[in-house]
A and B are shown apart, each in its own frame.
Chain A
Amino acid sequence: MAKLRGRGFASVNYPTGMNLGGDPSQALIHATTTGTFVVSLSSVDLGQGIKTIAAQCAAETLGLPMGNVLVDTADTDTGPHCMGTFASRGSHRVGNAVIMAAAEARGVMLEVAAEELEVDAADLETDGSGYIMVRGAQDKRVHVTDLAMAAHFKHGRTISGRGVYLKEPSVPVPETGEMDPDSCQAHACTVAVVEVDDETGVVEVLELFNAYEVGRALNPAMATQQVEGGAWMGVSHALFETTEPYYPLRDHGPRDFSAYLMPGPADIPSQHSVILERPAANGPYGAKGIGEMTANAPIPAIANAIFDACGVRLTSMPFTPESVLRGLDALRMEEPC
């Protein structure tokens, strides 16, 4: 009886967004009297960080600090339309829509600044700290807070912008089956190191190595956490989550989430992750979506590592101690005595 160590890898290509008769998201931006740019969205932040990404995209495009941006996702009933948070589409669709809205708002901001400073709008630039200034004449400038005030009370302007990103509908060509279902694809590879106890059948994941090509990591810390949090879900699918088997009777099965098995803090591998960047031409600042894919590659990587460790080839999840032991028994039967 021994603990057998094995290593396996798996790769994944994953589409960003989908296409069900067209896939749009919209964004609206307007400046308040004090120069806060409110980004209105109907896209829901459930922890994946779309509010942060939207704020980053808006600030970058406006040429203003993040502190001047407020993302409001309050109401899907009255806000601009969003298809929803699924298909790893949020950063891509919403990011693009926000960039478009912010570009329009920036145009108006520069026009109003041109009126205020009595210069040509084409000669203006932003410094990223809140000032709009004449290129090459740094002291001819106005702060966005004063500008927004002047826009409201002196010039009678709304500094605002509209944005939409639409992935147009695409249907398969009947002869070839060819179509254009997604916007771009992210790529990843995971290597898993496992230990299989050939007496109990228990599999422990010791280490995961993740390499992700994400287009551009708009927020590297969040991207890395998505990769590692998603890998944890992959381990959970691979080794834990099931309502079977609880024999001899179903009575012992989980009835609610409190008895549904998932890995806890004591069951987690150490993870090593690298992010590779090859910007997508149609992504917001090059970003692709990596929401869902992060749970995928760990599963086949773990199956391959189990095979490497003990020769048992498992093809359905989760890889329970029972399935490992049955596999080991079958291998022993094959062996000549």
Chain B
Amino acid sequence: MPSQIVSLVVNGERREFIAAPGATLLACLRESLGLIAAKRGCAQGACGTCTVLVEGRPEASCLVPVETVAGASVRTLEGVTAGGELDEVQSAFIDCFATQCGFCTSGMIMVAEALLERNPDPSEDDVIEAVSGNVCRCTGYRPIVIAIMEAARRRRERAVPR
């Protein structure tokens, strides 16, 4: 099978690149498009640090052959920082000190973005379930759960028209 030109809508922008057969979405984002927020932790779907949103759903991009999502819309952490401003999830991660080495952080934030998109008022159990596929070796998870609850609260407050 020859390499092929694949097109994706990445963070709202149409991008085209050449992909070798079987190349993963993660490899294409990092190597062809220079979007390095998604990290390669385990490369086998177990750690979640490569999580990006494909059509709004969190996916382990290390397991996705890129040709299977050709044409899809993909959102990465780079697309969360719109216009150079941190969004509620990012700033809550900072304020709640929900990151230590930072290796899991990109994946955690993308999972949180997906959760808050479909459920703006999650319970703590909802948050725990959402991040359960993501490994953090540093924080003990508690600050991450607290940060996502805080982000949800901030986003709801912002949504209330004044």
> Which of A's residues lie within 8 Å of B, judged by CB?
46-49, 221, 225, 228-229, 231-233, 256-258, 262, 264-266, 268, 270-271
Chain A min CB distance to B75 (Å): 23
Check if A264 sits within 8 Å of B42, measured CB to CB.
no
Cβ contact within 8 Å between B128 and A225 = no
| B44 beta carbon closer than 8 Å to chain A | yes
Residue of B nearest to A266 (CB): B128
- Is the Cβ of B141 less than 8 Å from the Cβ of A268? yes
Please give the residue numbers on chain B whose beta carbons come within 8 Å of chain A beta carbons, in ascending order: 42, 44-47, 97, 100-103, 128-129, 131-132, 135, 138-145
B100 A271 Cβ-Cβ under 8 A = no
| Given known contacts A229-B140, A268-B142, A270-B142, A47 and B103 CB-to-CB distance under 8 angstroms | yes
B97 near A231: Cβ-Cβ < 8 Å: no
Instruction: Please tell me which one of the listed residues A47, A233, A262, A268 contacts residue B100 in the complex, with CB atoms under 8 A apart.
Output: A47
In whole Å, how far is A50's beta carbon from the nearest beta carbon of chain B?
Answer: 11
Question: Would you mind naming 19 contact pairs between A and B with Cβ atoms under 8 Å apart?
Answer: A47-B100, A47-B102, A225-B139, A228-B139, A228-B143, A229-B100, A229-B140, A231-B140, A257-B42, A257-B46, A258-B44, A258-B47, A264-B135, A265-B128, A265-B131, A265-B132, A265-B141, A266-B132, A268-B142
CB-CB under 8 A for A264 and B140, given A47-B100, A47-B102, A225-B100: no
Residue of A nearest to B140 (CB): A232
Q: Nearest-CB distance from A82 to chain B (Å)?
A: 19
- Known contacts A49-B100, A262-B135, A268-B142; 19 additional CB pairs below 8 A are A47-B100, A47-B102, A47-B103, A48-B100, A221-B97, A225-B100, A228-B139, A228-B140, A228-B143, A229-B100, A229-B139, A233-B140, A256-B44, A258-B44, A264-B135, A264-B141, A265-B128, A265-B145, A268-B140
Q: Give the residue among B46, B128, B142 with the most A Cβ atoms within 10 A.
A: B142
Quote the shortest CB–CB distance from A192 to chain B (angstroms).
14
Cβ–Cβ contact A47 & B101, under 8 A = yes
Checking B46, B142, B145 against A271 with a beta-carbon cut-off of 8 angstroms, the contacting residue is B142
Q: How far is the CA of A100 from the CA of B142 in the complex (A)?
A: 37
